Chain A
Amino acid sequence: MEMATITENRSFTETFYASLQELPDGERIRTCLQCGTCSGVCPFGYVMDFPPSRMIAALRANMFDRVTTSDTVWMCVSCYACTQVCPSKIPLTPGLLARTKEELLLAGEVPAELQDALANSQRYGNPLGESPRRRADWAKGIEPEVTIMARARRPVDVLWFVGDYGSYHPRVQHVSRALAKVLNALEVDFGILGSEENSDGDSQRLAGERGLFEMLAEKNGRAFRKYQFNEIITGDPHAYNALKNEYPALGIAYPVRHYTQFLVERLDQLKPLLKRELKAKIAYHDPCYLGRANGVYDEPRALLSAIPGVELVEMSHHRATSLCCGGGGGGMWLDGFQWEKARVRLSEWRVREAVAVEADILAVACPYEPPRFEDAVKVVPGAERLVVKDIVELLVEAMDL
């Protein structure tokens, strides 16, 4: 893709460098050692003209226009691998990378492929371009009926933020129905926003669309304020990250947990229900925004270990070193672009790791993953028998629901 120069103006680099330093922990960028660890750990660093350390070098050399005329920042899947390893603790993913994408986007330099997801998010409140009115259609037929807040008009204990893919993607709707079944079995008093829920906006933010993120957050904030609940749970680590770390700065602050955290607390209640043995070797994939970005590693494993017959194995990249599925930071909507550049898919790399440890099941906890990994399973030799399941789907199987 041809990239036009944002500006030849020498001061652009200086202005941009200064703006980065005003972000939370942004001044740390001045302590970059140029060690290159970030660029080495980045799963796509080798195809980038300017991986993170070189971006910083270009900033210091007052040559950032070279970065903005290269399109390789769109290879960034916002997986936090660089941020995690940086010895200077520079906020690379949420700062440098997201802000660079934002500058490109404001200048209209955005891969065509990404545009649809952003335009859909603007118009419909979800990147898939589905009707907002049908956001709760996945819940039809579930007994007892899933409470939709606008209809029930009563306080609930738990507000479940279902998220875009959980609401609309046929494969991930299955995960949503599984979570509804488990919540019902545990007699949790929960409700969903239905058509009043909008995309959490986090992946759009990390793809550089800050303004869109704020608009979506405000809409969700208005919906939250209408109802009474004690906490929010979500199956989407991206929504979890947004609600936990980004919404409070916009005045939208509620206690939020990923469903794995919520269910682990109820393990005593859950365990007796896990009657069916699942004789399987399970490799658990740590989603970037549950693991690296938010430090939730143990709860998903505790749930899996509670299932009778399960043998938990670890892939070579696990916990803090987990490998991104390729869907974050806009990657979900840049498959073709990234394929053209790299000729590899991160999801396939991950599936090869699951095959290498002879896993029967690749367990996941993020709505981006079932479709991505299932696609990868179709093309990775030796992966024919690998099954991809969300943790909550495995719980439902063990509960015989």
Chain B
Amino acid sequence: MRILVPVKLVPDLVEELVIDESGAALDMTWVSLILSEFDDHAIEQAILLKERDDSEVIVVAPDVEGADDVLFTAAAKGADRLIKLVGDFEEGVNNHALARALVPLVRELQPDLVLTGVQAHNDLDGPLGPLLAELLELPYVGYVAGVALSEGKAVVRKEYPGGLLAEMEVSLPAVLGIQAAEQPPRYVAFSRIRQAMQTATIEERPVEELDPSGGPSVERLYQPEVGERATLIEGDVEEVASKLVEIFQKAGVL
């Protein structure tokens, strides 16, 4: 079987996020990008399926800073083909545009399964998976935490709120939104990544036009604002503690 994993790189929250002059977007000069956590799980699930069923795994990333590292790391884990969508991705695109950019590639490669991360922390217009499934007219199951493949179908384990699990059968080809791989994403030794950098090749696919229509537009991006009823207690640990005690006493809880 052939498994396609389109991944997203999202702002790394280890670095402080800065809002740009427009007041409606992140200042990308200060942002470093990291593989979306759920996409890491999608890659892991694809590699697990490959190890079990001898599938072919293709990982696709948009051409942004850090994409090569993500792709070579995927190769070191066992991905067979690496593809980079080359276009105007640097300033960030929404999922509508990314889904449309992926359609020709998916049609060309005809994968049996498309694994996406169920969500990413910068999804403003819904997750990528359902948008892609809609455009491709394929079935979609989200919040998946386990996949078993057989001829023409997959049995997937879907997580529901409240601790419920469902096993459902989905005909292939299909798009899945991976909530968690069956095991945590594996660590791959740095020397293996270095090896992949020397041996693996990244195929580049130009994307002429990015069409974000259908997604919302951001009018204002801002830090959480202090509410009227919130009080910020200042001072060292001792001072803060004694003020807290005072407040608790006044409120009658102490």
Contacts and interface: CB of A to CB of B under 8 A. Distances in A.
Given A124-B14, A130-B14, A108 B187 contact: yes
A215 B187 contact: no
A290 B85 CA distance: 51
Contact of A212 (B15, B184, B190): B190
Contacts of A105: 187, 189
A209 B190 contact: yes
5 contacts: A106-B192, A110-B187, A119-B187, A133-B15, A211-B190
A211 B184 contact: no
Interface in A68-110: 105-106, 108, 110
Contacts of B188: 108
A131 interface: yes
Interface in B192-206: 192-194
B14 A131 contact: yes
Interface residues of B, number: 14
Interface centre among B187, B188, B194 (most CB of A within 10 A): B187
Nearest to B77: A108
Given A129-B14, A209-B190, A211-B193, 13 more contacts: A105-B189, A106-B191, A108-B187, A115-B184, A123-B34, A131-B15, A133-B15, A211-B189, A211-B190, A211-B192, A212-B189, A215-B190, A215-B194
The list of the 6 closest CB pairs from A to B, nearest first, reads A211-B191, A211-B190, A115-B187, A212-B190, A131-B14, A106-B189
A122 B190 contact: yes
A118 B15 contact: no
A106 B186 CA distance: 11
A106 B195 CA distance: 12
A209 B186 CA distance: 14
Nearest to A121: B190
A9 B107 CA distance: 43
Main secondary structure, interface of B, reads: loop
A122 B188 CA distance: 10
Interface in A180-217: 209-212, 214-215
A344 interface: no
Contacts of A124: 14
Contacts of B184: 112, 115
A73 to B, nearest CB: 16
Nearest to A116: B187
Contacts of A211: 189-194
B232 to A, nearest CB: 21
Contacts of B189: 105-106, 108, 209, 211-212
Contacts of A133: 15
A118 B186 CA distance: 11
B12 to A, nearest CB: 8
A164 B34 CA distance: 21
A112 B181 CA distance: 14
Contacts of B194: 211, 215
Nearest to B73: A122
A110 B188 CA distance: 9
Interface string B55-85: 0000000000000000000000000000000
Interface string A129-148: 11101000000000000000
A129 to B, nearest CB: 6
B36 to A, nearest CB: 14
Contacts of B14: 124, 129-131
A210 B187 contact: no
A108 B34 CA distance: 22
Contacts of B34: 123
B220 to A, nearest CB: 26
Contacts of A212: 189-190
A291 B187 CA distance: 32
A401 to B, nearest CB: 19
B138 to A, nearest CB: 32
Interface in B95-141: none
A124 B184 CA distance: 20
B186 A210 contact: no
